[in-house]
Amino acid sequence: MSISIGWIMDAKITAKLLMATGQLMDIKFFRAVLQQSKTGLSPMQMRVMFVLRRRNSLSMSALADEMHMPKQQVTLLVDKLFQEQFVARECGAEDRRVINIRLTETGQEFVVSREAEVLEIFAARLNQLSVADLKELTMTFENVHTILQKIV
User: How far, in Å, CA of 149 to CA of 120, rounded?
Assistant: 26
pLDDT of residue 36: 63
The per-residue pLDDT for range 74-107, each reduced to its tens digit, is 999 999 999 999 999 988 777 777 889 999 999 9
Percent share of the chain, pLDDT over 70: 88
pLDDT of residue 1: 44
**What DSSP state is assigned to residue 2?**
-
The per-residue pLDDT for range 41-84, each reduced to its tens digit, is 887 898 899 999 998 899 999 999 999 999 999 999 999 999 99
Q: Please give the model's pTM, rounded to 2 decimal places.
A: 0.69
CA neighbor of 52 nearest in space, from 8, 121, 115: 115
Structural domains in the chain, sorted by start: 5-151 (1.10.10.10)
Parallel, antiparallel or unpaired: strands 87-91 and 99-103? antiparallel
pLDDT of residue 6: 57
Which amino acid, 8? I
**What DSSP state is assigned to residue 42?**
-
pLDDT of residue 72: 94
More confident residue, 87 or 28: 87
Measured in whole angstroms, the distance separating CA 113 from the mean position of its chain's CA atoms is: 17
More confident residue, 125 or 9: 125
